[in-house]
Structure 1
Amino acid sequence: MTVPPARRGYAMPAEWAPHRATWIAWPHHRADWPGKFAAIPWAYAEIVRILSRHERVCILVQDAAMEHRAKGLLRKAAVDLKQVDFFRIPTDRVWTRDSGPIFVKHKDGGRIATHWKFNGWAKYPNHKRDDLVAPRIAKAANVPEYRVVHGRRDVVLEGGAIDVDGRGTLMATEECLLSPVQARNPGLGREGIERVFREVLGITQVIWLGRGIAGDDTHGHIDDLARFVGPGQIVLCEEKNPKDENYVILNENRERLQSARDASGRKVDVIPLPMPAPLLFDGMRLPASYANFYIANNVVIVPTFNDPNDRLALGLLAELFPRHVVVGIHCVDFVWGLGTLHCATQQEPL
């Protein structure tokens, strides 16, 4: 396949569009949660329990032994295993949002799994198995693969670096995709990456925000910062404490969004989403954010942090998604891995 997907009528759907399945990887890399790993499989069991009531859940496992252990744990958590599929696709880490394929869809129902190079967020050297996840998921899902190349170079992109409205608008941060720090595509530049988005994902308007939140080791992923919740509607994290390091970051991004327009030319409605109080562990600021929610069929799962703002965030998202059940999942231990629910999931559109 050499003709880019968008030239053939494909585009990336919004996350709230109907899903065939959610793809996740079963946790195994203990170094991502030093001292807290024992709690993580149970957090995954809760994710699978909730999602599997609404759509299929496809789980990547390292081998038969891991599949057996995962099934036993899921049974204890009262998961209906008839709604779960297992695939022996080895991973380095569990963040399928970033290593998995980004699916695009044609109006006739056809789908393509776009395969972007994964380089460990331009930071971690152990990413070779994760770099093979996207084509292996494409094969497992029986969906054609499109390898994203610019010139002779594979284009690097993680799913958590972008968010779309399904109508031609994409959000990303300059810190993640244009900075020389943890540079994904040196030399490609703003114009180059926008061209790739246009040809591969069907994007006609990119809204560029500035920096991502404190504690984010990806160097500015959008999915901890701002998310589309409907056409022309964006939730943006809000920090009210002037002494918090996120205060200036989030205010600058709000100013950008207030003057932004989407692909249809309209100004976007910016809805403030509260932030939890700073969450620290072992002296380290963690990227705790309610914006890392995941929209599945008829349900939205939201990270919670034993914080008074948990209920405010859940209430706001329930108002924004009146046709969905909004469920909080405890992520104080989970976020020690420097990601939560959206980072761990990747949707496959129906």
Structure 2
Amino acid sequence: MNTNYNHSFRLPAEWEPQSGVILIWPHEDTDWHPYLEEITEVYLQLADAITRYEALLITARDSEMVSSLLKERLTEEQIKRVTLFTCDNNDTWARDVAPISLISNKASEGGSQPLHLLDFCFNGWGEKFAAEKDNRINRQLYETGLLQGVLENHKDFVLEGGSIESDGRRTLFTTTSCLMAPHRNQPLTQEEIDKRMRLLFPNVERIVWLDHGQLAGDDTDGHIDTIVRIAPNDTLLYIGCDDEKDEHYEDFQLLEGQLKQLRTLEGRPYRLLRLPMPDAIYDDGERLPATHANFLIINGAVLVPTYNQPEKDKAALNTIQEAFPDRKVIGIDSRTIIRQHGSIHCLTMQLPQNG
């Protein structure tokens, strides 16, 4: 574990300026194999949307094949924004594999400051799935110079990017169900994990632990990015549930109650924007964790999962537009992605601008 915590660095909010986004490309030996063509099309749509606004770093087992696909889909100008790196992978969830980046507090004083790239242990969400190849990706990218900054080894601590949300200032959000789940960081207590994270993210003064809101079919034990997201101006977007017959109803009512009781560090209530609970989607009898909250914020746009549910998709897109009025809100059909129990935010990781 690194112990030289530099208090001039902070964990930014996702809507702050970015230098690029990371994607890990699917292949036939991942769990995407039964619908590889369909998920490849989703990845091409993501690549198209992202490269209209910023750079894209793709790791792929067969980078030549991916390059060929991209050249058929993207313009020459977009292709210039793509960097391909060849390496193997177990799966494709960049949000939980790629480094969590800290930026300098002193960037506004002039001069470029290197990112601090925190490389945590990813163990397949509590040893549910193989992850040894995924766990090596960051080091490989760094050693070839594709990750610009200082790579910090925190492999003694399990932390997934989807399990935390930052306001870019002094508050971090997470869920009790995930960070206290088995096979993560036992025997650490919640108090000890809280303290550890405030050391890792030195700008954070408090961690808000949410105790409710786990989606059926979620392999992650309740990642925050599936239920509650932070937006500018002390805004929280969250999933609500009004259907008393829905299995989520009671838990999400409790989540909403907890959010209404929260206050900012300045003592003000948060601005709450409610996203609809998508109608249940099943695959082979199993309910999938469909959620509009799993959106990706990039420079100038927000990429939002949709589920071919026109009324609810439109309501979610309009609500997210209200939270991000200066960005274009782009819906991307995510019915294939949720077949592997994640969505757009889970597949991606942004790299902030380094000063």
The TM-score range, normalised by the shorter chain, is over 0.9
Say yes or no: does 1:322 pair with 2:321: no
Q: How does 1:324-339 map to 2 (within 5 A)?
A: 324-339=327-342
Structure 2 residue aligned with 1:54: 53
The 1-side partners of 2:140 and 2:265 are apart by 33
TM-superposed CA distance for 1:201, in Å, is 1.5
Equivalent pairs, count = 340
Structure 2 residue aligned with 1:24: 23
TM norm structure 1: 0.93
The 2-side partners of 1:274 and 1:161 are apart by 21
Say yes or no: does 1:12 pair with 2:11: yes
Structure 2 residue aligned with 1:156: 158
TM norm structure 2: 0.91
TM-superposed CA distance for 1:259, in Å, is 1.4
Q: How does 1:231-246 map to 2 (within 5 A)?
A: 231-246=233-248
Say which is worse superposed, 336-345 or 126-135, in terms of deviation.
Answer: 126-135
Structure 2 residue aligned with 1:230: 232
What residue ranges of structure 1 are gaps of 5+ in the alignment?
none
Q: How does 1:193-342 map to 2 (within 5 A)?
A: 193-202=193-202, 203-211=204-212, 212-307=214-309, 308-342=311-345
Deviation sequence 1:193-235 (CA, Å, 0-9, x none) = 1112211113211111124211111111111100001241101
TM-superposed CA distance for 1:88, in Å, is 1.8
TM-aligned CA distance change 1:103 to 1:322, over 3 Å: same
Question: What code does the residue aligned with 2:343 have?
Answer: T
Say which is worse superposed, 121-130 or 319-328, in terms of deviation.
Answer: 121-130
Structure 2 residue aligned with 1:76: 72
What residue ranges of structure 2 are gaps of 5+ in the alignment?
108-112
The 2-side partners of 1:45 and 1:345 are apart by 13
Structure 2 residue aligned with 1:144: 150
TM-aligned CA distance change 1:17 to 1:94, over 3 Å: same
The 1-side partners of 2:49 and 2:234 are apart by 28
Q: Secondary structure at the match of 1:290?
A: coil
TM-superposed CA distance for 1:135, in Å, is 2.8
TM-aligned CA distance change 1:19 to 1:98, over 3 Å: same
Supply the RMSD in Å over aligned alpha carbons.
1.7
TM-superposed CA distance for 1:4, in Å, is 4.0
TM-superposed CA distance for 1:74, in Å, is 1.5
Q: Secondary structure at the match of 1:116?
A: strand
The 2-side partners of 1:9 and 1:201 are apart by 10
TM-superposed CA distance for 1:75, in Å, is 2.0
Say which is worse superposed, 132-141 or 271-280, in terms of deviation.
Answer: 132-141
TM-superposed CA distance for 1:334, in Å, is 1.7
Q: Secondary structure at the match of 1:223?
A: helix
TM-aligned CA distance change 1:218 to 1:159, over 3 Å: same
Q: How does 1:79-158 map to 2 (within 5 A)?
A: 79=75, 80-109=78-107, 110=113, 111-139=115-143, 140-148=146-154, 154-158=156-160
TM-aligned CA distance change 1:264 to 1:24, over 3 Å: farther
The answer to whether the 8 Å contact 1:11/1:200 transfers is no
Say which is worse superposed, 245-254 or 257-266, in terms of deviation.
Answer: 257-266
The answer to whether the 8 Å contact 2:26/2:32 transfers is no
The 2-side partners of 1:279 and 1:241 are apart by 15
TM-superposed CA distance for 1:125, in Å, is 4.0
Say yes or no: does 1:186 pair with 2:192: no
TM-superposed CA distance for 1:30, in Å, is 5.0
Percent of aligned pairs sharing the same letter: 31
TM-aligned CA distance change 1:35 to 1:270, over 3 Å: same
The answer to whether the 8 Å contact 1:302/1:329 transfers is yes
The 2-side partners of 1:253 and 1:28 are apart by 37
Q: Secondary structure at the match of 1:36?
A: helix
